[in-house]
Amino acid sequence: MTAEDLPEYRCIAHVRAAKIRKIEYHSPTTFRLSLTLGHKHASDVLVPVTYMEKHQPKVGGYFVQYPDGDVSYSPAKAFEEGYVLV
């Protein structure tokens, strides 16, 4: 079987997300992600070390929050190819 044998799907997920502009150590249990929320607007979010270990976010990628409250990370290229601003 090859990848071409599998059915193709398109994602229609609705998420909230922001581009990560800076990652800083905050405390032994948290890191601070500085997020770009729009032209000249920014905000910070604290994430646990477990988020950092699991997702290994990079500056320029996206902090993503799903409707159920789960958070994730997406590399910029994958996010920008898969989502459009509502």
Task: Give the CA radius of gyration of the chain.
Answer: 15
Class for the domain spanning 16-82: mainly beta
Half-sphere exposure (Cβ direction) of 69: Cα atoms closer than 13 Å: 0
Contact 35, 42 (CB under 8 A): yes
User: What is the sign of the dihedral through the CA atoms of 14, 54, 63 and 44?
Assistant: positive
Q: pLDDT for 11-30, tens place per residue? A: 788 999 999 999 999 999 99
CB count within 10 Å of CB 24 equals: 10
Domain ranges of the chain: 16-82
Query: Which pTM was predicted?
Result: 0.86
Q: pLDDT for 64-81, tens place per residue? A: 999 999 999 999 999 999
